[in-house]
Amino acid sequence: MSTDSPSPATPRPFQAEVSRLLHLMVHSVYTEKDVFLRELISNASDACDKLRYEAIARPELIGKDARLAIRIETDKEAGRLVIADNGIGMSEAELAENLGTIARSGTRAFLERLGKEGENSALIGQFGVGFYSAFMVADQIQVVSRKAGEDTAWLWASDGANGFTIEQAGESDAAKVARGTRITLHLKEDSRTFLDDYEIERIVKTYSDHILFPIELIGADGATRQLNSASALWQRSKSEVKQEDYTELYRSLSGQLDQPALTVHYKAEGRQSYAALLFVPTQRPFDLFDVERKGRVKLYVKRVFITEDAALLPGYLRFVRGVIDSEDVPLNISREMLQNNPAVAQIRRAVTAKVIGELETLADKEPEKFTPLWETFGQVLKEGIYEDFERRDQLLKLARFRSTAGDGWRSLGQYVADMREGQTEIYYLVGESLDRLRSSPQLEAAAERGVEVLLLADPVDAFWTTAMPKFEGKAMKSLSQGDVDLSAIPLKDAATPKTDPPKDVGDLISSLKAALGDEVDDVKVSQRLVSSPACLVATAHGPDRTLERLLQRQQRGINAKPVLEINPGHPLIAAIDRARLATDLIVVDDLAHLLLDQARIVEGELPSDPARFTERLNRYLVAGLKDQSTEGTPA
């Protein structure tokens, strides 16, 4: 490639993270290297899409060169592979920004994930670092680009190790690029197979057949042959599309190499006419829980790509990938106006209902397929229970939960069908791990009556339950918040024997309140406990204790005081009452705080004052051991 430029090129360093990334690429960390061609073709397609969109307002950008295409050229003798497009092109500044730095966090996340997962070519497209994959097969790359509407073409060059240069392209290079971008790869010796026509055709058919623009291969004889079908897959009827066609499009849209777990393909006609082709992945996207992450459903208008940021699905369906192609949205609409466009709003409502309906059908008819999907995306779907009031009942029906009924997943429909005689509410317990929830003392009274309790251990559970939803007329009731009365539900077996409770529990409670002061909101007799001495619960009108802990970690908590509930029939409570009757106020104070700290520890918290807790505990351990020693001494 000629470099006869009017001025010498100035070397520039890569961003540090790009340098790390390129080191991995140059040293071939991937076994499936053909992914590089998929990524470069995808970038070229995006450039053509951007030009079509910009030309809606500025048709002069396209001018007489209206046929947008992607062209591949080979030079076996020189070992060069060229991928060119006549799309939007790049200016000098855009070359430096797009090919020298990565302004978003994708590269850092990519490198972290790579360190955990080793070789995985699926990560390349998923993290938006596709261009750099070309260094897996090339030891030198030159990019000549001319921005649409501009006169100057620019040459970017790099060996992937020593930074890059940008200079004004010489006459011979500039003449080859009237508009768009031309990428020349100088292939490594072990990558020369990518110059074979049949290998290029195989890769294009596998990964890029759905690309809307013609992908043409220019042979050694100068003849041009189109490799892809270049048709909008979503506009074809379902009967014409093979499963492998769906898979290819899904992989291109998602940048992943898994199979779609669910495909939704349909055309709508009536008030709004559009075609939709949507995919639910099998694997979880790396940034699924990124708070700034948006859905990745592309909006087309009459086959013209408009944007990927139209929020065509609500946030709790952000894992869905796909395309929606409208016949009614104005082509010249600005991306800023899309959010308030009534046609887009109607499409959004209809597509959301369709996706949820398809998930319901899958759950009802093929539960063995729905279960792994729920395990992967259930935490996100549950966000909709408090975000989307209109579809709350549908989402509750769709939701699956762990419970005290066993190790499997349970639906609310199954729960309601198995409710005990006298039971009128759906009981649940929110916590931070299933193991801790299963051992919680707050389950004791429910277990004694054979009442199933939902065990909610996802962080989102602490939020959606605040919406106090109902299912089939049954209110959902927390076992860790407010008062709980299970007395109307008969015992499953004989009652657990208990120590006789203190005769005047009111006086004992008053003493505990006086000892604990403002560390607790209240002290009450518990209706939840059977074999444990005490537990902590939230007040009826305050946040659940798990939610309070989550908010405190975000420095948003209100420091709500817990309620200490005691089991009057427990020997420890009886012992504290004896100390009270003996007017030993120091012992009562110590035991009251030990009781409170014990309840905190059971919930996975630390004592409020660990040193004081240890001091008290040691004192009573020593006293107990001393008494045992005295009892064993001969008279």
Q: What spatial distance separates the first Cα and last Cα of the chain, rounded to whole Å? A: 107
Residue 631: predicted pLDDT:
60
Residue 449: predicted pLDDT:
94
Residue 624: predicted pLDDT:
81
Q: Is residue 370 in some structural domain?
A: no
Pair (194, 246) in one structural domain: no
Tens digit of each residue's pLDDT (9 = 90 or more) over 154-207: 999 988 778 889 999 999 999 999 999 999 999 999 999 999 999 999 999 877
Residue 231: predicted pLDDT:
82
Q: Is residue 220 in some structural domain?
A: yes
pLDDT at 423 over 90: yes
Pair (397, 421) in one structural domain: yes
Tens digit of each residue's pLDDT (9 = 90 or more) over 277-307: 999 999 988 778 775 666 689 898 888 788 8
The mean-pLDDT minimum among 9-23, 64-78, 306-320, 604-618 falls in 9-23
pLDDT at 472 over 90: yes
CB–CB of 511/587 below 8 Å?
A: no
Q: Is residue 77 in some structural domain?
A: yes
Angle, helices 571-581 vs 505-516, to 10°: value is: 80
Q: Is residue 527 in some structural domain?
A: yes
User: Which of the four pLDDT bands, split at 50, 70 and 90, describes residue 498?
Assistant: low
- Report the chain's mean pLDDT, rounded to a whole number: 86
Residue 29: predicted pLDDT:
47
Domain boundary pick from 429, 462, 478 = 478
Which two structure tokens, joined as six digits, stand for 3?
Answer: 């470099």
pLDDT at 124 over 60: no
Residue 585: predicted pLDDT:
81
Residue 544: predicted pLDDT:
86
Tens digit of each residue's pLDDT (9 = 90 or more) over 381-419: 999 999 999 999 999 999 999 999 988 999 999 999 999
Pair (447, 522) in one structural domain: no
Residue 632: predicted pLDDT:
53
Backbone angles phi, psi at 624, to 5 degrees: -65, -40
| DSSP class per residue in 532-599 | SSEEEEB-TTS--HHHHHHHHHTT----PPPEEEE-TTSHHHHHHHHHHHTT-HHHHHHHHHHHHHHH
Buried b vs exposed e over 511-536: b needs ≥16 C-beta within 10 Å? bbeebbeeebeebebbebbbebbbbb
Q: Give percent of the chain above pLDDT 70.
A: 86
For strands 321-326 and 304-307, give the pairing: unpaired
pLDDT at 211 over 90: no
Domain boundary pick from 299, 332, 363 = 363
Domain boundary pick from 179, 209, 226 = 226
User: Which of the four pLDDT bands, split at 50, 70 and 90, describes residue 123?
Assistant: very low
Residue 294: predicted pLDDT:
62
| Number of folded domains that form the chain | 4
Q: Which residues contact 351 (CB under 8 A, 6 or more apart)?
A: 276, 278, 297, 312, 313, 324
Backbone angles phi, psi at 135, to 5 degrees: -75, -5
Rg (CA), the chain: 33
Backbone angles phi, psi at 183, to 5 degrees: -110, 125
Q: Is the model's pTM score more than 0.85?
A: no
Pair (208, 168) in one structural domain: yes
Q: Give the pLDDT mean for 103-130.
A: 46
Q: Give the pLDDT mean for 572-594.
A: 88
Nearest to 478 by CA among 437, 522, 508, 532: 437
Pair (133, 243) in one structural domain: no
Pair (102, 248) in one structural domain: no
Residue 379: predicted pLDDT:
95
Tens digit of each residue's pLDDT (9 = 90 or more) over 317-353: 999 999 999 988 887 666 667 777 888 999 999 999 9
pLDDT at 127 over 50: no
CB–CB of 381/316 below 8 Å?
A: yes
Q: Is residue 369 in some structural domain?
A: no
- What is the distance between the alpha carbons of residues 571 and 510, in angstroms, rounded to a whole number? 19
Tens digit of each residue's pLDDT (9 = 90 or more) over 17-33: 666 666 666 555 455 68
Q: Is residue 176 in some structural domain?
A: yes
HSE (side-chain half, CA atoms, 13 Å) at 413 = 9
Q: Where are the beta strands (DSSP E) in 171-320?
A: 180-187, 215-218, 224-226, 262-268, 274-280, 296-301, 304-307
Pair (238, 222) in one structural domain: no
User: Which of the four pLDDT bands, split at 50, 70 and 90, describes residue 5?
Assistant: very low
Rounded to 5°, the CA angle 398-399-401 comes to 145
Pair (237, 218) in one structural domain: no
Pair (429, 330) in one structural domain: no
Residue 511: predicted pLDDT:
93
- What is the distance between the alpha carbons of residues 580 and 588, in angstroms, rounded to a whole number? 6
Q: Which residues contact 622 (CB under 8 A, 6 or more apart)?
A: none
Nearest to 160 by CA among 142, 140, 144: 140
Residue 121: predicted pLDDT:
42
- What is the distance between the alpha carbons of residues 110 and 397, in angstroms, rounded to a whole number? 36
Q: Is residue 541 in some structural domain?
A: no
Which two structure tokens, joined as six digits, stand for 233?
Answer: 């897959």
- For the stretch 205-210, contacts whose Cβ atoms lie closer than 8 Å and that sit 24 or more positions apart, written own/partner, are 206/248, 207/35, 207/37, 207/38, 207/41, 207/248, 207/251, 207/252, 208/38, 208/41, 208/42, 208/45, 208/248, 208/252, 209/245, 209/248, 210/245, 210/248, 210/249, 210/252
Buried b vs exposed e over 416-433: b needs ≥16 C-beta within 10 Å? eeebeeebebbbbbbbbe
Pair (457, 393) in one structural domain: yes
User: Which of the four pLDDT bands, split at 50, 70 and 90, describes residue 4?
Assistant: very low
Q: Which residues contact 121 (CB under 8 A, 6 or more apart)?
A: 30, 31, 32, 33, 35, 257
Provide the CATH number for the domain around residue 133. 3.30.565.10
| Structural domain range at position 529 | 505-535+561-631
Provide the CATH number for the domain around residue 616. 1.20.120.790
- What is the distance between the alpha carbons of residues 586 and 565, in angstroms, rounded to a whole number? 21
Residue 106: predicted pLDDT:
45
pLDDT at 424 over 80: yes
Residue 24: predicted pLDDT:
64
Residue 26: predicted pLDDT:
59
Provide the CATH number for the domain around residue 278. 3.30.230.80
Residue 218: predicted pLDDT:
93
CB–CB of 385/467 below 8 Å?
A: yes
Nearest to 343 by CA among 268, 265, 271: 271
Q: How many residues are present in the chain?
A: 635
User: Which of the four pLDDT bands, split at 50, 70 and 90, describes residue 143?
Assistant: very high
Q: Is residue 484 in some structural domain?
A: no
Pair (161, 251) in one structural domain: no
CB–CB of 519/525 below 8 Å?
A: no
Residue 512: predicted pLDDT:
94
Pair (70, 219) in one structural domain: yes
For strands 153-158 and 224-226, give the pairing: unpaired
